[in-house]
Amino acid sequence: MYNNWEELEESINNCNKCKLCKTRINIVFGTGNKNADIMFIGEGPGADEDKQGIPFVGKAGQLMNKAFEGLGIEREKMYISNVVKCRPPGNRVPEDDEAFACLDYLRNQVILVKPKIIVLLGSTALKNICGKQYGITASRGKWIEKKGILYMPTWHPAALLRDENKKIEFWRDLKEVIKKYEEIL
């Protein structure tokens, strides 16, 4: 574990801990406020993120931005990252060995950011961070507390692109996050 961002970011440069290094264009480390109270964790970069090196800049990210705007959440005040930092080919779900190889970077990011709340975007984030026993359909919208951090699992924004009905739940979950944040401020 590194106790500063410079060393952590340097440690990931040229990472070849898993096979995703062979097909990536850029490592997508994370973006936003490094002292954020609220952190968002997705699954892994897609094609646009791989090209730009920034998480959630593609279609799913734009949809998330719209929800942020509607709810008055300032994206720059959040910290946003992913379970895996390199794009899985064809946007497939990261395999267990890939997530395992990458999770120490995410743990280190969480330690440095020290968020009060972490929003888990989708099943991959939920299962890799809280445990395989959790399923996104049953868990979304319900707080999980672990080691002093409050986790809110919700739909991955890409799921909203496929199913309009999930937008309402996503919106509701983010509203719950804002409410809780105002309570614990």
Q: Kindly list the residues in this chain that would bind ligand URA in the complex (CB under 6 A).
A: 42-46, 49, 55-56, 58, 60-61, 82, 158
**Least distance between ligand URA and beta carbon 83 (Å):** 8
Q: Sheet harboring 38-42: ordered strands across?
A: 31-32, 79-82, 38-42, 117-121, 149-154, 144-146
- DSSP code string of 106-149: HHHHHHHH--SEEEEESHHHHHHHH-TT--HHHHTT--EEETTE
**Least distance between ligand URA and beta carbon 14 (Å):** 21
**Least distance between ligand URA and beta carbon 82 (Å):** 5
Residue 32 or 61 with smaller CB distance to ligand URA: 61
Residue type at position 75: R
Residue 57 or 117 with smaller CB distance to ligand URA: 57
**Least distance between ligand URA and beta carbon 49 (Å):** 4
Residue 63 or 112 with smaller CB distance to ligand URA: 63
Q: State how far the Cα of 109 lies from the Cα of 185, in Å rounded to an integer.
A: 22
CA R_g for the chain: 15
**Least distance between ligand URA and beta carbon 18 (Å):** 16
153, HSE (Cβ side, Cα atoms, 13 Å): 22
Residue 101 or 158 with smaller CB distance to ligand URA: 158
- CB-based contact 88:121 (threshold 8 Å): no
Residue 44 or 115 with smaller CB distance to ligand URA: 44
Residue nearest to ligand URA (CB): 42
Residue 115 or 157 with smaller CB distance to ligand URA: 157
**Least distance between ligand URA and beta carbon 10 (Å):** 22
- CB-based contact 102:11 (threshold 8 Å): no
**How much helix, strand and coil, in percent to the nearest 5, is found in the chain?**
50, 15, 35
